[in-house]
Amino acid sequence: MDRYNVGDVVRLKKKHPCGSSEWEVLRVGADFRLKCLGCGHQIMIARKLVEKNTKEIHKKEEA
């Protein structure tokens, strides 16, 4: 089972310029699409960088 899933919220080591360090996972694969929870900015970032810079993962609530 993968460590990261769509809908999870990850806290990264470095903060986004808006001040938030929490990102929602929108896409998982060789690259991740992350959405900043502070300002809504979306980025594509390599899986390797996300795995290296993740402090913690908040799993999406399964209903």
Q: What is the pLDDT of residues 18-49, one digit of tens each?
A: 999 999 999 999 999 999 999 999 999 999 99
Q: Are 33 and 27 in contact, with CB atoms under 8 Å apart?
A: yes
Structure pTM?
Answer: 0.87
Chain centroid, CA 42 distance in Å: 10
Report DSSP state, residue 10.
E
- pLDDT of 1 over the 50 cut: no
Q: Are 18 and 36 in contact, with CB atoms under 8 Å apart?
A: yes
Collapsing DSSP to helix, strand or coil, 47 comes out as helix
